[in-house]
Structure 1
Amino acid sequence: MFNLKTIAKGAAASVVGASLFVSSAFGETVIRIQTVISAKADEVVMLKDFGEDVTALTNGEVRFEILPAGSVVGVAETLDAVDAGLIDGGFAWTHYWSGKHPAAMLFGSPVAGAGVGIDNIAFVSWFQFGGGKELYDQLWDEMGMNVKGFMLQPVGPEALGWFKEPITSMDDFRKYRFRTPPGIPGQTYKDIGVASVAMGGGDILPALEKGTIDAAEWCCPKPDSVFGFQKVLKHYYLQGLHQVVVNADLYLNKDVYDSLTPLQQKAIEVAANASLSKAMSYRIYENGKALKDLTENHGVILHDTPADYFPAYMNAAKASLEKNAAENEFFAKVWQSQKDFAAIAVPYWAGSQASNAALGKAFADSVK
């Protein structure tokens, strides 16, 4: 295993700078971004839309070239490669880097809505107006990363997952070997007695086919259907707490970002803010179409999640959050910011959403 920082801080970093200089000589700066997923994924569709907005806002001066996972470095090395200058930028979920700092989870996937009822829309409110953005910028310094991050794609809530047979209680749930996300969300399942198995997305379907695992979660109806879960499992549960909020983000090498003009930097910021809204809008419709297709054309049966799951998972998530806050000062600072925001915003937002949920459920029941 090579050390990315050692290799690239010198020669490779200068190569990046040279490539930008050559591009700029022709009136265009090309920023190469490696993703951690397939080029066909919905997240990459939305990432390209963000890039097109930046190009339009800069009158063609800045263009993003999107590279699929593994083009230059492995998925696990993506952030280190951005930091070192081996690639101009990366695209991933920030909780992927929880091994570098536990607070990364609070930005990429705050378990159980950070334990304080924050959904994906409220999370964007915290990020933009509740102090979250300033803490997000501080995260990279806490990690010691030469990175400028942009939050682009809030998703959620993610589905509980897919099962061979219906589950009516936590006792049923505990019978299954269940694929979960890594880090705190997966550990929380272990804490409530579920046999949690963390694995990469590309390994899930083969593991289900071989019987290595019996049940699994990935994301939401559209990404799940692209993975092909419906070919193996037919019982689907939408309501889950492990990733009520999930964000896919852009990471730029800080030297690359600093080389841009103030107007170009502002264009990226404006396009990122637009992406926060467009990503949620895109996901609602795409997931709706996918769920309709799954239930009408693939024999998938949609169930409500057992009631005893929610207190069990929430209590375990809170205990995990408290443990991490006690062990890490910056984690505690970010979580306190989310708790302070929630104390003000969640009572209002949850109350308002109750009307929306009742309205929507009445219509959904009529469609059934």
Structure 2
Amino acid sequence: MPSRRKFFKAAATTSAVAVATLAMPSIAKAATTLKVQAAWGGGIFLENANNYVKRVNEMSGGSLKIDLLPVNSVVKTSQMQDAVHRGVLDGAHYVPAYWYGKSAAASLFGTGPCWGWSANEMLGWIHYGGGTALFNELMGSLGLNVVSFFNSAMPAQPLGWFKEQIKKSSQMKGLKYRTVGLAADVLGEMGMSVVQLPGGEIQAAMKSGLIDAAEFNNPTSDSDFGMQDVSKHYHLASFHQSQECFEITYNKKKFDGLAPELQKILEYASEAENSNFFWHNTLRYAD
């Protein structure tokens, strides 16, 4: 009899626990949302940014979500890095040339010297040749609270769009020309009057006469926002920007607060997008 009583008592306890478990709904942990502003208002580069975001959102299984904001949604392009540093934005999708004004060393991570390597080789140096450590050291010296990932090797960029055909270098002198990064200093030394504008303002500046010539990146990206409508002279061969890539930067405090597996998703999605950029853009460049 004692053993039967123990049996029924144990069974009753087990049933009570089971009922309590069934009665208690499982509460899913709320997803972490990162507000990330892109430097692009449309076109192929916004497509690339969305492709990265799609990978992050799908890889995280709902536990992490990037809310991608178009250009100028919160701050101007020139203010994006500072906004990420301060936590006004959780992240940004742009190119290192956009913070060249803070340090000429930005050119090492895009728009660098026009000899010695391609954009793929530059990314190899960033990932495996000590570039990331140097970047983190630079951010520390500038007092910037950011962590960044680099992807998407861009081919050498054309010299750009001109109001008149350029047949000799002397014609370049005095031209109001849009470019960014190290190229701005180099072409300034050649006598050009360099204006650094974000991509979304180039076409309107050319149309209004604020500038005489401009480069942005490649024929597809440029035609996406209508450069062919304001200039009929497009000069292809150039060495002013022989390599460039995207930088995806996050507020370091926000990044460090994420679970390690979510940090790795942000990093590895960047690496995955590096391959997808080549495949996707090969098709788009042919459009």
Tell me the TM-score normalised to structure 2 length: 0.83
Q: Does 1:117 align with 2:107?
A: no
Residue pair 2:178, 2:202 contacting (<8 A) in 1 also: no
Q: Paired residue for 1:31, among 31, 34, 37?
A: 34
Residue pair 2:38, 2:49 contacting (<8 A) in 1 also: no
Q: Does 1:164 align with 2:172?
A: no
Residue pair 1:119, 1:244 contacting (<8 A) in 2 also: yes
Partner of 1:122: helix, strand, or coil?
helix
Q: Deviations over 1:73-131 (max 9, x none)?
A: 2322211111111221122211211222221121132142xxx3211121122122222
Residue pair 2:60, 2:262 contacting (<8 A) in 1 also: yes
Q: Which residue of 2 aligns with 1:17?
A: none
Q: Which residue of 2 aligns with 1:145?
A: 144
Partner of 2:286: helix, strand, or coil?
helix
Q: Which residue of 1 aligns with 2:73?
A: 71
Rg larger in structure: 2
Change (3 A) 1:142 1:47: same
User: How many Å separate the matches in 2 of 1:203 and 1:70?
Assistant: 11
Partner of 2:82: helix, strand, or coil?
helix
Tell me the TM-score normalised to structure 1 length: 0.65
Q: CA deviation at 1:25?
A: 6.5
Residue pair 1:88, 1:253 contacting (<8 A) in 2 also: yes
Residue pair 1:149, 1:252 contacting (<8 A) in 2 also: yes
Residue pair 1:209, 1:232 contacting (<8 A) in 2 also: yes
Could you tell me which amino acid in structure 1 is paired with residue 213 of structure 2? A
User: How many Å separate the matches in 2 of 1:241 and 1:119?
Assistant: 11
Q: Which residue of 1 aligns with 2:10?
A: none
Could you tell me which amino acid in structure 1 is paired with residue 136 of structure 2? D
Structure 1, 164-173 or 217-226: larger mean CA deviation: 164-173
Q: Which residue of 2 aligns with 1:234?
A: 232
Change (3 A) 1:69 1:203: closer
Q: Paired residue for 1:181, among 179, 192, 199?
A: 179
Structure 1, 164-173 or 146-155: larger mean CA deviation: 164-173
Q: Which residue of 1 aligns with 2:256?
A: 258
Q: Does 1:47 align with 2:49?
A: yes
User: How many Å separate the matches in 2 of 1:206 and 1:58?
Assistant: 40
Residue pair 1:52, 1:63 contacting (<8 A) in 2 also: no
Structure 1 segment 95-134 matched on structure 2, within 5 A: 95-112=97-114, 116-134=115-133
Partner of 2:34: helix, strand, or coil?
strand
Q: Which residue of 1 aligns with 2:203?
A: 205
Residue pair 1:54, 1:271 contacting (<8 A) in 2 also: yes
Higher helix share: 1
Q: CA deviation at 1:178?
A: 4.1
Change (3 A) 1:165 1:281: same
Q: CA deviation at 1:183?
A: 4.2
Residue pair 2:77, 2:198 contacting (<8 A) in 1 also: no
Q: CA deviation at 1:147?
A: 0.8
RMSD: 2.1
Q: Which has the higher contact order (CA 8 A, sep 6+)?
A: 2
